[in-house]
Amino acid sequence: MGGTKKKTLASMEKTQDDNANSAAGGGDDKGGKKKTEKTTKAPGERKRVDVLLPRSSDQELMKTLSSLKAITIYNAARSLSVNSAVAKLVLTSLESKGLVKRVGGFSGHYIWSPASLAPAS
């Protein structure tokens, strides 16, 4: 019922010419452009993206973030005027320095609070 449509005469001639050229020695009449092979990456290899952190000290960042009711990636991004990737890096660096503590959330949507206000676990 729904097979392929019949090609026009011009497109049939082009495919015939292409087939004849490839069988006769590969002479390309369109300028000699060659296809280059794409380099493949290893399956475990990731693309590295460098992100610029804001030029603020940790105390300035904490002063900005401590006024928030709940410190999330998106609230931090909005208050610091950066995108969410940078805000995530800022929060993880502050967490590693012990200035903020993760108190909730799951699956990448975490909630932080300043370490002085964080409940003891």
Which range of residues forms the domain containing residue 66?
A: 58-114
Q: What are the tens digits of pLDDT across the range 66-111? A: 888 889 999 999 988 888 888 998 899 889 999 888 889 888 889 9
Q: What are the tens digits of pLDDT across the range 9-53? A: 998 898 888 888 888 775 555 555 566 666 666 777 776 666 666
- For residue 91, the tally of other CB atoms under 10 A from its CB is 23
Helix, coil or strand: residue 54: coil
Q: What are the tens digits of pLDDT across the range 100-112? A: 888 898 888 899 9
Residue 105, φ and ψ in degrees, nearest 5 = 95, 170
Q: What CATH number is given to the structural domain containing 90?
A: 1.10.10.10
Evaluate whether residue 88 is within a structural domain. Answer: yes
Task: State the pLDDT at residue 40.
Answer: 66
List helix spans (H) across 32-119: 58-66, 73-80, 84-96
Helix, coil or strand: residue 52: coil
- Structure-token match 């991004």, residue found: 77
Evaluate whether residue 32 is within a structural domain. Answer: no
CA distances (Å), origin 11, targets 15, 20, 21, 69, 78: 6, 14, 15, 66, 55
Q: Which residues of 24-40 are buried (b: 16+ CB within 10 A; e: fewer)?
A: eeeeeeeeeeeeeeeee
pTM of the model: 0.53
Number of domains in the chain: 1
